A and B are shown apart, each in its own frame.
Chain A
Amino acid sequence: MTEPSGSAGVKRRDFLKVLGAAGAVTTSVGCFQEDVEKLIPYLVSPDDTVPGVSTYFATTCRECAAGCGLIAETRDGRAIKLEGNPAHPVNHGALCARGQASLQGLYNPDRYRHPMARRNGKLERITWDEGIRTLRERIAGLGAGAANAVFVNQHESGSFPAFLDQWLAGYGMPAHLSYDGEAPHAVMQANRQTYGAAWPALDFTAAKLIVAVGADFLEMWGASVPQQLSFADARAKLADAPRFVYIGPRRSLTGLNADEWLACKPGSELAIVNALAGKGDVAAAATAGGVDQAALQRLAGELAATKPSLVLSGVTTANALDVALAVNALNVAAGNVGVTIKPAEALTGFDRVGSPNDLRDAVQRMASGAVPIAMFRGVNPVYVLPKSLRVAEALAKVPFKVSFSPFPDETSELCDLILPDDHFLESWGDAESVRGTISLQQPAMDRVFDTRATADVLIGVTKGDPATANRIPVADYRSWLIGRFPGGAQAFGAALARGTAPGSPAQNATASRTVAAAPAPAPAPLEGQQGDFYFVAYPSPVLGDGRATNKPWLQELPDPVTKIAWQSWIEIHPTTAARLGIENGDHITVTTAAGSVNAPAYIFMGVRQDVVAMATGRGHTGYGRYAQNVGVNPLDALPVAHDASGGLALATVKARLTKTADHSPIISTEGSARQHARGIGRAVTVAELNGPEEEEVEHFAGDNKHDFLPGLRSPVANDAQGVLGNPKSKDKGMYDPEHWSGMAKRRWAMAIDLARCTGCSACVTACYAENNIPTVGAPWQGRSLRPFHSGDGNGWDTRPGANILKGREMQWIRIERYYEGGEDGSSDFDTRFVPMMCQHCGNAPCEPVCPVYATYHSPDGLNVQVYNRCVGTRYCSNGCPYKVRYFNWHGYGEPARRQYAFPEPLNWQLNPDVTVRGKGVMEKCSFCVQRIREAEHRAKLEGRELVADEFTTSCAQACPSRAITFGDAADEKWSVARLAEDRRAYHVFEELNTFTAVVYLKKVNHPAGGER
């Protein structure tokens, strides 16, 4: 804030300097605040913002290379919520968990707060002028050595790479290395060869059969959000939906969404693909892959018979490129190109990305001492490259290292000069997510700390020296952008409102990498290595390659597959575990030729018996309080092995398993993974769906008198609270539909389509962001373990996730993941993902038991929780059959307590419309009542009624598969009213007569050989 912003455009993002004026979000449940509070007005009242009313800025997400469009909601100068930009061609309004959580990157308490330089071994604060001068002098002093300089930038599309290369070229430095550890390099190279585009758009809706060979397209494989949107739309076609077969050693989240899983050995994919393509011997492939020959045969036939299909490759073995090429050939042969695979509308986020092999090459040049200066921006080689590469030692050989990283990660801690970059919500930029569309990135707010955009720093470097002063003839990067923007300032200003504009960002034609990477060392062949297990590392669906690990929302978000948070684990098959006498949580050591890792075992049906799998992302030794010393990093056990495309081979090594003595309980939100025939997550097969409706009679476990009936059957639903269960009760007050307030005319309800839900858990994080839900897993948030202890954590339970171990996570909406079948450990099991939140029952068991009316049924059908009335008897939670009520066991919202969940400045993100709950009160999903009331206010001010589907809840807004629909079920104009009558609709535990307001639509399964 001290930094006066260069452009008038940013002025309006000034903070109200004190929270008081903004309806301060402080914990206050229960008491008047008598202490005098200061009200600080603006200095100059901003032109277009109104205090207490949100302002929205369209910008672009830079968490991953996909470059989704964002709408940043700011209140009184603070960004408080990110939502997808509905007008954006990539994500069409949806947003994944990582996108939501980028706010916690912006407000991360561990961010560098100012530039720093290493003086006699210690990093000390310096001014920006000093920093820029130091950098300039260093570069000037390079001389010929400049040709060996290394600049590693986190891969991003848009103008910045070109700008950077131009800048580097100006100093005779080679073009920068654009690194993205999450990008599937083999696939992209194959795509370039086959389709001429790194990432063609994938149209799942057009396909009739989807075969994914290790391609986790709902997770880290490419751009998950658009792929998920398309996949969900395809599956929502129900009977005509494509059947989905997953082939791979581990059943990832994507795999769990598949109708069939062919669990093949790592390295055998090529044979299998050839077999499917009819080019190879099925029997041989089946034996090589260890899969059922009949199944493979059937699939080959199905693939040949079904057109169009969609075959995707995402294997991470050493021969990944060959597999990808084979798959592409298969697609070409099947005529899928242009139908399900559309090179014409390619996603350009991955264009010009460098590979891990290039980075390895750079590191080895550093190790050889040839590199005089290394600069890192957003890339953390010390962490993201295998330990066996000894990156830290290589860096030590570099005389001068500069980090532009905004966070104190493992690499920047070794650097000599820290010039912290702005967060993307504080700075200008652009991206090209789809060919022919520029999506703009603008500051949503003023800077949180004394940071500066790297581009502006680089400009500052040139400006400082008269020789180079007019090399970049603009004041700052923004003007540089505008200068190159098609249409100039006029168009630029206009485009900012939409966030996108036609055209392509500036490309630097000339600059290309002058230093060619040495070819990757050939990895040892997988077979013939010693060890009885294949060791498969995979990028975590939530934490990616580890760049997201410092955000508490994501640490707390249970892994969609294993439901584990704040912990690393090693997946092992039940049969194997039984054989080796391993229980959940027993520590096992995985030893490979390259090294070893030790972590608790998690018994998981979704891996082959001869496979152990591990997720990347945890095991940081730095990177701030939330990431440090949480879990372990599987890369520690990986050799430096690359596929032919230069991608890091994650499934290329065999391992030995040793059980160790120690045991640490699995920190999981999972109680029982089986639903014990209680009809929580239900499914129908296509056959049943095509069958006549009257057959559709379900009997409930525990009660065989109730038949299944769709719709909201609450006495307080269809007639909108008219009856109160007692027609004779005299004074209905506001519950009377005729009441002037008209509240009782509405019945807020939600429909959740399990055929769409992929279990990605974006809704969970969206809920955290909207409702000020505290994260409780940080090491300092644990409970007391013994009577006497000091404040420094001694005597407290300081294990990460200790509270979650006690079942105290606060997820208002959680994704339950139930397995059907596979008890025998076979690979043939079905997974049901059930988003579970407060069901807002018409006859809520939680309400009558509350002694103080802290929870009751509002006339418009909400099960309201009044925090400030709650005394915390927790009786309501006992009554709730769905167990969706969460209690504030500690002062998570009280800054004075060590369990405080929002250390400055994380608390700047808190939503002013939602009370921060204090210790000792119950909380739960409110159907985003603040959004309901806000919409009602808006409608009232505009003198109109609410329009159907005018607004929605945070979870529904974020959902990348559009599985959640919210609205007024009493008014058939809202789409939820229609969905509630769907033939797939059911209520969970309907036999308890709770008359819930949440309707689930059954999942649709496409079993093998099911008629289409």
Chain B
Amino acid sequence: MGIVAAFRELDATVDAIEDLKRQKISDVTVYTPTPRHEIEEAVSPPTSPVRRFTLIGGFCGACFGYWIAVWTSDYWPLVVGGKAIATWIPFTIIGFELMVLIGALATVAGMFINSRIPKITMTVGFDPRFTHGHYGIWVQEAPERARIVEETLRRHGAEDVRHED
């Protein structure tokens, strides 16, 4: 079962998170109206893997850019302005632009995939206040330990605690 707690203050939220950690309660989701370093520190999560998406996307983009330009030029060789048929320097522009394009889109895709959005359901473990002024903690825990969790959250000054099944 899940417990959703809403906090008014930042430091209270931070204390609660660290307390839960100390109690080896793992499945904790924290909500914050705006990114705060304190919370990130408290949760101390692994580095986001989005950067890999960026790297791969950018690389593919650049390769495709150069390839399409060179291949089409050689596919039907036409001389313009006495220039070589496949000219690398101008094709760099194509390579660069496509690197940026594909790279950027891949990055966004990375963010979506990693943070599991678009989310289909908004009901479970969420409270509209979290996008307003409140911080939130959502713990999914076995019923028998739920009481401890709730008690911990209240101790740290949760404005209110809600149970979900």
Report if A and B touch in the complex (beta carbons < 8 A): yes
Q: Which residues of A contact B (CB under 8 A)?
A: 714-716, 721, 724-726, 728-735, 842-845, 847-848, 850, 853, 855-857, 859, 995
CB distance from A733 to the nearest CB of B (A): 4
Chain B residues with CB under 8 A of A845:
81
Chain B contacts with A in 78-125, Cβ cutoff 8 A: 78-86
Q: CA A842 – CA B76 in complex, angstroms?
A: 19
Identify which of A714, A731, A732, A848 contacts B83 (C-beta below 8 A). A848
Contact A716 B77 (CB under 8 A): no
Chain B residues with CB under 8 A of A725:
82-84
Q: CA A733 – CA B82 in complex, angstroms?
A: 14
Contact A724 B84 (CB under 8 A): yes
Chain B residues with CB under 8 A of A855:
80
Identify which of A729, A734, A853 contacts B84 (C-beta below 8 A). A729
Contact B77 A853 (CB under 8 A): no
| List of 9 A-B pairs having minimum Cβ-Cβ separation, nearest first | A726-B84, A847-B80, A843-B82, A733-B77, A848-B81, A725-B82, A848-B80, A729-B84, A847-B81
Contact B86 A714 (CB under 8 A): no
Chain B residues with CB under 8 A of A844:
80-82
Number of interface residues of B (CB under 8 A): 12
Q: CA A730 – CA B80 in complex, angstroms?
A: 16
**Does B165 sit at the interface, judged by CB under 8 A?**
no
Chain B residues with CB under 8 A of A735:
77, 79
Chain B residues with CB under 8 A of A726:
83-85
**Does B74 sit at the interface, judged by CB under 8 A?**
yes
Contact A724 B80 (CB under 8 A): no
Chain A residues with CB under 8 A of B82:
714-716, 724-725, 842-844, 857, 995
Chain B residues with CB under 8 A of A716:
79, 82
CB distance from A226 to the nearest CB of B (A): 43
Chain B contacts with A in 45-76, Cβ cutoff 8 A: 74, 76
CB distance from B90 to the nearest CB of A (A): 9
Excluding A844-B81, A995-B82, 14 further A-B contacts by CB distance (< 8 Å) are: A724-B79, A724-B82, A724-B83, A724-B85, A731-B85, A733-B77, A733-B85, A844-B80, A850-B80, A853-B80, A855-B80, A857-B78, A857-B82, A859-B79
CB distance from A1011 to the nearest CB of B (A): 44
Q: CA A733 – CA B84 in complex, angstroms?
A: 12
Chain B contacts with A in 138-160, Cβ cutoff 8 A: none
Contact B79 A857 (CB under 8 A): yes
User: For residue A855, which residue of chain B has the nearest CB?
Assistant: B80
Q: CA A715 – CA B85 in complex, angstroms?
A: 14
**Contact status of A856 and B77, CB under 8 A, knowing A725-B84, A729-B84, A729-B86:** no
Q: CA A715 – CA B79 in complex, angstroms?
A: 12
Can you list 9 A-B pairs, Cβ within 8 angstroms, ordered by A?
A: A724-B84, A724-B85, A726-B83, A842-B82, A843-B82, A844-B82, A847-B79, A847-B80, A995-B82
User: For residue A864, which residue of chain B has the nearest CB?
Assistant: B78
Chain A residues with CB under 8 A of B80:
844, 847-848, 850, 853, 855-857
Q: CA A855 – CA B81 in complex, angstroms?
A: 10
Chain B residues with CB under 8 A of A715:
82
Q: Which residues of B contact A (CB under 8 A)?
A: 74, 76-86
Chain A residues with CB under 8 A of B81:
843-845, 847-848, 857
User: For residue A729, which residue of chain B has the nearest CB?
Assistant: B84
Contact A731 B84 (CB under 8 A): no
Identify which of A714, A730, A842, A856 contacts B78 (C-beta below 8 A). A856
User: For residue B84, which residue of chain A has the nearest CB?
Assistant: A726
User: For residue A715, which residue of chain B has the nearest CB?
Assistant: B82
CB distance from B95 to the nearest CB of A (A): 18
User: For residue A714, which residue of chain B has the nearest CB?
Assistant: B82
User: For residue A850, which residue of chain B has the nearest CB?
Assistant: B80
Identify which of A732, A842, A850 contacts B77 (C-beta below 8 A). A732
User: For residue B81, which residue of chain A has the nearest CB?
Assistant: A848
Chain B residues with CB under 8 A of A731:
74, 77, 85
Chain A residues with CB under 8 A of B78:
853, 856-857
CB distance from A196 to the nearest CB of B (A): 63
CB distance from A256 to the nearest CB of B (A): 37
Q: CA A729 – CA B82 in complex, angstroms?
A: 12
Chain A residues with CB under 8 A of B84:
724-726, 728-729
Q: CA A1008 – CA B106 in complex, angstroms?
A: 80
Chain B residues with CB under 8 A of A995:
82
Q: CA A843 – CA B84 in complex, angstroms?
A: 11
User: For residue A725, which residue of chain B has the nearest CB?
Assistant: B82
Q: CA A843 – CA B76 in complex, angstroms?
A: 19
User: For residue A844, which residue of chain B has the nearest CB?
Assistant: B81
Q: CA A856 – CA B73 in complex, angstroms?
A: 13
Most buried by A among B74, B80, B83, B86: B80
Chain B residues with CB under 8 A of A734:
77
Q: CA A845 – CA B81 in complex, angstroms?
A: 6
Most buried by A among B77, B82, B85, B86: B82
Most buried by A among B79, B80, B83, B86: B79
Q: CA A324 – CA B15 in complex, angstroms?
A: 122
CB distance from B89 to the nearest CB of A (A): 12
User: For residue A728, which residue of chain B has the nearest CB?
Assistant: B84
Q: CA A716 – CA B85 in complex, angstroms?
A: 13
CB distance from A859 to the nearest CB of B (A): 8
User: For residue B90, which residue of chain A has the nearest CB?
Assistant: A848
User: For residue B87, which residue of chain A has the nearest CB?
Assistant: A726
Q: CA A856 – CA B83 in complex, angstroms?
A: 11
Q: CA A733 – CA B79 in complex, angstroms?
A: 10
User: For residue B86, which residue of chain A has the nearest CB?
Assistant: A729
CB distance from A744 to the nearest CB of B (A): 10
Q: CA A28 – CA B6 in complex, angstroms?
A: 72
Contact A856 B85 (CB under 8 A): no
Q: CA A847 – CA B82 in complex, angstroms?
A: 9
Chain A residues with CB under 8 A of B85:
724, 726, 729, 731-733
Chain B residues with CB under 8 A of A724:
79, 82-85
CB distance from A678 to the nearest CB of B (A): 22
User: For residue B75, which residue of chain A has the nearest CB?
Assistant: A731
Q: CA A859 – CA B81 in complex, angstroms?
A: 12
User: For residue A847, which residue of chain B has the nearest CB?
Assistant: B80
Chain A residues with CB under 8 A of B74:
730-731
CB distance from A724 to the nearest CB of B (A): 5
CB distance from B9 to the nearest CB of A (A): 60
Chain A residues with CB under 8 A of B83:
724-726, 848
CB distance from A332 to the nearest CB of B (A): 61
Chain B residues with CB under 8 A of A859:
79
Chain B residues with CB under 8 A of A847:
79-81
Q: CA A724 – CA B78 in complex, angstroms?
A: 10
CB distance from A735 to the nearest CB of B (A): 6
Q: CA A732 – CA B76 in complex, angstroms?
A: 10
Chain B residues with CB under 8 A of A843:
81-82
Chain A residues with CB under 8 A of B76:
733
Q: CA A470 – CA B78 in complex, angstroms?
A: 73
Q: CA A470 – CA B86 in complex, angstroms?
A: 82
User: For residue A857, which residue of chain B has the nearest CB?
Assistant: B79
CB distance from B111 to the nearest CB of A (A): 35
Q: CA A721 – CA B78 in complex, angstroms?
A: 11
Q: CA A730 – CA B73 in complex, angstroms?
A: 12
Contact B77 A721 (CB under 8 A): no
Q: CA A728 – CA B87 in complex, angstroms?
A: 11
Q: CA A730 – CA B84 in complex, angstroms?
A: 9
Q: CA A725 – CA B84 in complex, angstroms?
A: 6
Q: CA A850 – CA B74 in complex, angstroms?
A: 17
User: For residue A842, which residue of chain B has the nearest CB?
Assistant: B82
Q: CA A726 – CA B82 in complex, angstroms?
A: 8
Q: CA A730 – CA B74 in complex, angstroms?
A: 9
Q: CA A726 – CA B86 in complex, angstroms?
A: 10
Chain B residues with CB under 8 A of A850:
80
Chain B residues with CB under 8 A of A721:
79
CB distance from B44 to the nearest CB of A (A): 53
Most buried by B among A714, A729, A855: A729
